[in-house]
Amino acid sequence: MATSGKMGKMGKMGKMGKMGKMGKMGADDDPPHAGGPSSTLMNDALVSTRDGVVGYWDGAPGYTPAFPFSDKPDDILYLQYDIRGRLLDHALHSSVAVHGTSAEARDNGSAVLGAAEFHGSGNHILTIHQPPQAHFETQLKYLRTYADLRADRLSEINIQLGDGMSFYGSLGYLDPQRRARTTDLLDAVERLAVFVEMQVKHMCRSPRPIDYAIEVQPMIQTPDHSAFPSGHSTESFAVATVMHRLMNKTSAHAGVQKQAHPFRIAERMAVNRTVAGVHFPCDSAAGALLGCAIGEHVYALAMGRKLKRMPNDFLAESNNATFQDHEDFSLDWLKTVTAEPQDEPLGSIGRTIISTAWTLAEDEWP
């Protein structure tokens, strides 16, 4: 769940904060031909083979295939993984919007604090407020403390640069055969989180820990984009929310309250970014809140409903702050700012790609 891995092979959309392989989008172990990538040599061989075996053909059809492939607009299972993923992405990405501080306001040389509003299905769901400079300076003490864990978490941190989904696979078997529909959905949720988080980062762009003190000396390369909010945290909590819904049929709030395992994994991945030296705890806190909102939006959309405003925004700069200067990020903090999500009817719609994708994924779990 990361801000540094490949966004899958979907056109290599950039190293934009990625938890895993953003969906395999054409698995690396595909055969070189017959359903896999072609090659010049194979193409030439197919031309000569046809010339040698087809003989005379007058252009008449030999069969009458079913047309169209399916009469159901929500049926995408006849498509390969990467094309299914693109359709899921369109449905999910077109359902969200991020509004916030304009580039002009941030780039005029003044100390303007950014803010980003996450909207889902037309509803304003959550606002993320950029903390002031003094907040990050106070949080530096956690970078010093967590650095002591680097040797212990080296393997985790390195793997999570490009693959976070495998850690969720340790909780429930994730495989493109046994749980193919779950894999489709979780990969799409991860890509949606990146789509949202990168816009929020841009509107709330903030320095990294290394910009405040050379003594941080991160154990990995520092990404070029904003520290706030954490992409790893956003992606991991979005995936945890959806996976918890599939496994346990309850909300992110309920899962966080019980410290269910998907959220424990998400918390550890988020904290690992502070251990590595590239994120403040407040980055992870904001990302977790945003990730849960994204996951709950996906669930609401699948149910033909739309999420209402979350009870608490992320705020770290006033007497009404939801995250204090001295606070560390943890599930104990997160459970104090979440609540059972409220929703309302989305409108008169039939079965959608997302609702069908959710039903098929849910059917793969006991």
pLDDT of 325: 93
Nearest to 332 by CA among 269, 257, 281, 275: 257
Answer for the pair 1, 239: CB distance below 8 angstroms, yes or no.
yes
What sign results for the dihedral spanned by CA atoms 245, 250, 255, 261? negative
Average pLDDT over residues 82-98: 97
Asked whether the predicted pLDDT for residue 329 surpasses 50, the reply is: yes
CB-based burial, 176-207: b 16+ in 10 Å, e otherwise: eeebbbbbbbbbbbbbbbbbbbbbbbbbbbbe
Asked whether the predicted pLDDT for residue 252 surpasses 70, the reply is: yes
Asked whether the predicted pLDDT for residue 43 surpasses 50, the reply is: yes
pLDDT of 17: 41
Q: What is the pLDDT of residues 256-304, one digit of tens each?
A: 999 999 999 999 999 999 999 999 999 999 999 999 999 999 999 999 9
pLDDT of 69: 77
Choose the weakest-confidence range: 38-42, 56-60, 233-237: 38-42
- Which are the contacts of 202, defined by CB distance < 8 A and separation ≥ 6? 103, 225, 226
pLDDT of 36: 73
Mean pLDDT of the chain: 89
Q: What is the pTM of this model?
A: 0.88
Question: Could you give the CA distance from residue 185 to residue 295 in angstroms, rounded to a whole number?
Answer: 11
pLDDT of 317: 75
Question: Could you give the CA distance from residue 356 to residue 76 in angstroms, rounded to a whole number?
Answer: 9
Asked whether the predicted pLDDT for residue 231 surpasses 90, the reply is: yes
pLDDT of 12: 38
Question: Could you give the CA distance from residue 232 to residue 209 in angstroms, rounded to a whole number?
Answer: 16
The secondary structure element, H or E, covering residue 352 is none
In this predicted model, which residue has the larger pLDDT, 79 or 197?
Answer: 197
How far is CA 344 from its chain centroid? 24
For the ranges 20-24, 100-104, 361-365, the one whose mean pLDDT is highest: 361-365
Share of the chain above pLDDT 90, in %: 77
Domain annotation for the chain: domains and CATH numbers: 81-362 (1.20.144.10)
Average pLDDT over residues 27-41: 68
Question: Could you give the CA distance from residue 236 to residue 329 in angstroms, rounded to a whole number?
Answer: 14
pLDDT of 174: 93
Q: What is the pLDDT of residues 68-82, one digit of tens each?
A: 777 788 899 988 899
Question: Could you give the CA distance from residue 313 to residue 321 in angstroms, rounded to a whole number?
Answer: 9
In this predicted model, which residue has the larger pLDDT, 350 or 290?
Answer: 290
Asked whether the predicted pLDDT for residue 186 surpasses 50, the reply is: yes
pLDDT of 101: 75
Token representation of residue 173 = 């078997």
